Amino acid sequence: MTEIERIDQLRKELHAHNYNYYILNAPVISDQEFDRLMRELQDLEAKHPEHYDENSPSVRVGSDISKEFRQVEHRYPMLSLGNTYSEAEVADFYERVRKSLNEDFEICCELKFDGTSISLIYEEGKLVQAVTRGDGVRGDDVTDNVKTIHSIPLVLQGSGYPDSFEIRGEILMPWKVFEELNRERELREEPLFANPRNAASGTLKLQNSAAVASRKLDAFLYYMPGDNLPHDGHYENLQEAAKWGFKISKHMRKARTLQEIFDFINYWDTERKNLPVATDGIVLKVNSRRQQRNLGYTAKSPRWAIAYKFQAERALTRLEKVTYQVGRTGAVTPVANLAPVQLSGTVVRRASLHNADIIASLDLHMGDMVYVEKGGEIIPKITGVDLASRPAGSEKVTFITHCPECGSKLVRYEDEAAHYCTNESTCPPQIKGRIEHFISRRAMNIEGLGPETVDQFYQEGMIRDAADLYTLRASDICRLERMGEKSAENIVNGIEKSKQVPYERVLFALGIRFVGETVAKKVARAFPSIDKLESATLDDLVHVDEIGEKIAQSILRYFHDERNRTFVTRLREAGLQMETSEEDQSGRTDRLQGKSIVISGVFARHSRDDYKALIERHGGKNVGSISKKTSFILAGENMGPSKLEKAEKLNIPIINEDDFLAMIEE
């Protein structure tokens, strides 16, 4: 067998194994054997680039090449469904259909998956394009990212599928993957995703398909528009699609009476808690495509389908104790520890109480039976107390007065809801939290380091602040548990590489309170060296765009502390960038000073990120949405129709990229 023949054989085998594992849930080989075959295929493909196939199983791992998304018009508009919230509204829908059709009909009952909508185009049995819902008329081409999702077939199974067709569905992040992702983000003190829908949507828009692959998204397909389909029945067409390799829900049912619909709704209102993915309702569709055409559409939605939304799920459980967490800024967050209870597909054991005011408003007592809700948000919250079941003589929950980690007295600043531990120098969670912020991707981006490694180095006494990282040697690291020579070298190389990170990100990495990424850029532009910033007065600072007195006072407090000044000196001595480079300074102007600019569309000469950087370099402000305050829109090809309509309504100028580059003289 030639190497080319072996490539073809491996591709066929791996497609089949993917189908067995992700669709049938019945793997026939071990994970190790699958990985071995995949490595063999990747090695052979690298040797034979002339035999490239865009739908090879190897694309599942994704690429780290960043690509802008271009907008694509849908073959058929992706309309939204009308929502109902009661059995009476479902009955009204059923009655409207009955009167309009005046003949027998079936309703297909389906689970309403809570993810992000996708349209998939197949030509001759191969996936050629994947497009998000967008505004319903056109969406983003996310084909490269979708190809990393194992439950979406790249090449179809069996036979009988049309030469060209579209199938739509929902891309999801399973509960298990979602919770692990949020645990990792919590350790890095990054904002948590509110729910799996937001996480799936955000993941699908990542510019790095390798990062998308790591998120382990899933998908269910539920609708095929068009005329060249095997059957008149929607349900029957989806059963055919399952034979072609698509992941179709096994829980679809056809109903012939209103009572059968209610039975389906009532069953899944409870049973959905046991599903591995999020659902938020039931979708009801007239099954016959002929009858669908007869019923037609309103301006916004089909008359032949409707969504029934479940009520926000609530559970009753016991408050066992309240514990307190300390973040990198010293903020102390109370956490309710609960008797385990099943809620929206997961077992809930904890809920954030946010601050002392929330505890007081709930009038919590130890041992209370409390109502817990998710209501579309993954972070559980306590919404009430069952006072009738309160234990006699139970102790009222009162906010602590001293730090649970270091014992320092807590303070509450004016106009703030949180309490703070002010012991920045020796309170362990604050020290480790500041280091974790320093190494994070948007700050110094030190590869090879994470919260667990930081904790290990701290426990071993190797670091007490981020400046200590620059004194670490590979020989010190590799002697630690779970650390080999290769890992140690990677960490040291990552630390060395961070010395090239530009000044504005170093400024963000310092962790000065209220100085986020955007503020750090503004400050770095106004004070292009750390020395100039350190010697700035309150008046100097408040005259910087978007820097109010609150941020200015925080910067002054930071540099007034001798420990912080020493820390900055040590970072400077380690070789970090403490001033804006001459090249960067020389390219800055005030040509866009005071202008708020919206970017929309796909560009030919620079990427969107490049244009955002140019806007900031020339004194402008990037904004995400159009308003009366928008100065102009920098528009490329395929500008969204909703943005165009709003711009015309508000009389906002639209500038193309050539005119924009001329405006800033680039």
Q: Active-site positions? A: 112
Instruction: Report which of 135, 158, 132, 156 is spatially closest to residue 145, judged by C-alpha positions.
Output: 132
Show the tokens assigned to 558: 């930071």
Query: Is the CB of residue 420 less than 8 Å from the CB of residue 410?
Result: yes
Question: b/e per residue, 426-440, with b = 16+ CB within 10 A?
Answer: ebebbbbbbbbbbbb
Query: HSE-up of 620 (CA within 13 Å, CB side)?
Result: 24
Distance between CA atoms of residues 577 and 571, nearest Å: 9
Query: Is the CB of residue 291 less than 8 Å from the CB of residue 321?
Result: no
Report which residue type is found at 126: K
Instruction: Report which of 504, 501, 532 is spatially closest to residue 518, judged by C-alpha positions.
Output: 504
Burial class (CB in 10 A: 0-12, 13-18, 19+), 49: exposed
Distance between CA atoms of residues 305 and 181, nearest Å: 34
Report which residue type is found at 175: W
Query: HSE-up of 86 (CA within 13 Å, CB side)?
Result: 3
What does residue 621 show for φ and ψ, rounded to 5 degrees? Answer: -125, 125
β-sheet with 218-223: strand ranges across: 126-132, 116-123, 164-172, 218-223
Contacting residues for 282 by C-beta, under 8 A, at least 6 apart: 109, 110, 111, 112, 264, 265, 268, 307, 308, 310
Show the tokens assigned to 164: 């060209």
Distance between CA atoms of residues 50 and 34, nearest Å: 24
Instruction: Report which of 165, 149, 159 is spatially closest to residue 243, judged by C-alpha positions.
Output: 159
